[in-house]
């Protein structure tokens, strides 16, 4: 086994984990998950990614790398008035929709018919408040936040992929070294998965489940397939959607939100520097899976340490991690002149955070954008 293959899998997993774990923990906090449920959430989603990556890579003999839905975690973290049981119901629903997309072609066509600008506008509206929070925390807690921003900017000049991971490490050092936060005690009970009863509330399924499904498909799976094609591999689209959908629905019962195709971290595992023989690169998916199993088992050490940090540090790390996907979403939203107005309507309504009838802003933003897009087609030519 080449060392390059092991290092690629290790770097991809650590970057994926370290850059957005704070956002996953923020999502768990937003829906009222307790310490055991939060640890179960992290462990379950790590195991889900491990199983899916190993299964698809060995089955199709191509390097398949899965990730958790970062925009999905941001969507959950931005939600209000939803408890953990309702959230789990929405996660199960979103996973089932992903699996059905693989099995039902009309559903696949319906999702693909949503204009890219509208879908990207919804995603940008979800992500914007997190990045804006960085400036607010910098003003209120400069001693904690400004060093983190400095680390992020400096490391980004050298290695953009490692910038957020370095910021998280700096945050831990500041919290436990300079801010005087006591180290948390290790609770071995957190190692076990915790079953969480789902509550299938129709308003939450519509307001969280459907947007979670759409952002996972549009901003994670489709770019993930594109990255594989760009590196000369034909992605197993149907199999990947089926496997990730079923895994997401099952592990949702232990708190995990959706898993999907990786894009940025996948690129680390697909290049010529991983293995000279492209037909052997599928093995990186197996090594990647082993790393994620290790990370899942390490949750009782990592998760309490991050949760013990001041909330400002967690919010800043999450906000900085979401700047690149925010840029991508804004560029995609306003790329095509024909859908710019609809994308702007989607973005404005979603970013406003408005909620009505118990349904969150992401759904209303999507609905507003689709209505504007349809009305644009009624204009006389």
Residue keyed to tokens 């957020």: 164
Helical spans, DSSP H, in 31-162 = 35-60, 70-77, 84-103, 105-113, 116-140, 142-158
Pairwise CA distance, residues 103 & 319, whole Å: 36
Q: What is the pLDDT of residue 183?
A: 65
Long-range pairs, 141-144, Cβ under 8 A, ≥24: 141/310, 141/312, 144/174, 144/179, 144/310, 144/312, 144/313, 144/316
Tell me the CB-side half-sphere exposure of residue 348, using CA atoms within 13 A: 9
Q: What is the pLDDT of residue 180?
A: 65
Pairwise CA distance, residues 334 & 207, whole Å: 24
Domain edges within the chain: 3-376
Q: Residue 353: left (phi > 0), alpha (psi -120 to 50), or beta?
A: left
Q: What is the pLDDT of residue 344?
A: 93
CB 142 within 8 Å of CB 89: no
Pairwise CA distance, residues 210 & 263, whole Å: 22
Q: Which helix (H) or strand (E) holds 313?
A: helix 311-321
Q: What is the pLDDT of residue 317?
A: 83
- Measured in whole angstroms, the distance separating CA 92 from the mean position of its chain's CA atoms is 16
Give the N- to C-terminal CA distance of the chain in Å, as an integer: 62
Rg (alpha carbons) of the chain, rounded to whole number: 20
pLDDT along the chain (381 residues), means of 10: 77 80 90 91 94 95 90 88 95 95 80 78 83 90 89 89 82 77 59 88 92 85 79 86 95 95 78 78 90 87 78 83 82 87 91 75 83 81 61
Pairwise CA distance, residues 53 & 281, whole Å: 13
Quote the tokens at residue 250. 């099952």
CB 179 within 8 Å of CB 312: no
């Amino acid at each position: 086994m080449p060392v390059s293959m092991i290092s690629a899998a290790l770097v991809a997993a650590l970057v994926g984990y370290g850059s957005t774990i704070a956002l996953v923990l923020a999502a768990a906090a937003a829906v009222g998950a307790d310490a055991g449920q939060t640890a179960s959430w992290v462990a379950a989603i790590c195991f889900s990614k491990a199983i899916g990556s190993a299964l698809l890579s060995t089955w199709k003999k191509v390097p398949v790398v899965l990730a958790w839905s970062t925009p999905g975690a941001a969507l959950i973290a931005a939600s209000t008035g939803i408890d953990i049981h309702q959230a789990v119901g929405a996660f199960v629903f979103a996973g089932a929709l992903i699996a059905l997309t693989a099995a039902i072609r009309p559903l696949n066509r319906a999702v693909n018919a949503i204009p890219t600008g509208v879908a990207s506008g919804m995603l940008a509206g979800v992500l914007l408040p997190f990045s804006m929070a960085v400036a607010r925390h910098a003003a209120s807690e400069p001693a904690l936040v400004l060093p983190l921003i400095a680390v992020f900017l400096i490391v980004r000049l050298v290695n953009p992929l490692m910038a957020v991971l370095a910021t998280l490490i700096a945050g831990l050092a500041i919290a436990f070294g300079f801010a005087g936060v006591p180290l948390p005690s290790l609770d071995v009970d957190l190692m076990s998965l915790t079953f969480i009863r789902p509550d299938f509330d129709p308003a939450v399924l519509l307001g969280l489940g459907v947007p979670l499904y759409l952002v996972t498909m549009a901003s994670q799976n489709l770019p993930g397939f594109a990255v594989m094609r760009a590196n000369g591999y034909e992605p197993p689209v149907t199999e990947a959607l089926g496997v990730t959908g079923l895994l997401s629905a099952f592990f949702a019962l232990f708190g995990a939100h959706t898993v999907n195709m990786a894009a940025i971290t996948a690129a680390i595992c697909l290049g010529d520097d991983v293995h000279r023989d492209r037909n052997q690169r599928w093995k990186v998916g197996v090594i990647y899976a082993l790393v994620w199993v290790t990370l899942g088992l390490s949750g009782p050490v990592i998760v309490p340490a991050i949760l013990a940090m001041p909330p400002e540090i967690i919010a800043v790390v999450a906000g900085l991690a979401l700047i690149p996907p925010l840029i991508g979403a804004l560029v995609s939203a306003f790329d095509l002149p024909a859908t710019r107005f609809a994308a702007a309507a989607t973005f404005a309504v979603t970013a406003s955070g408005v909620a009505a009838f118990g349904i969150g802003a992401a759904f209303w933003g999507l609905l507003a954008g689709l209505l504007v897009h349809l009305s644009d087609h009624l204009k006389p030519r």
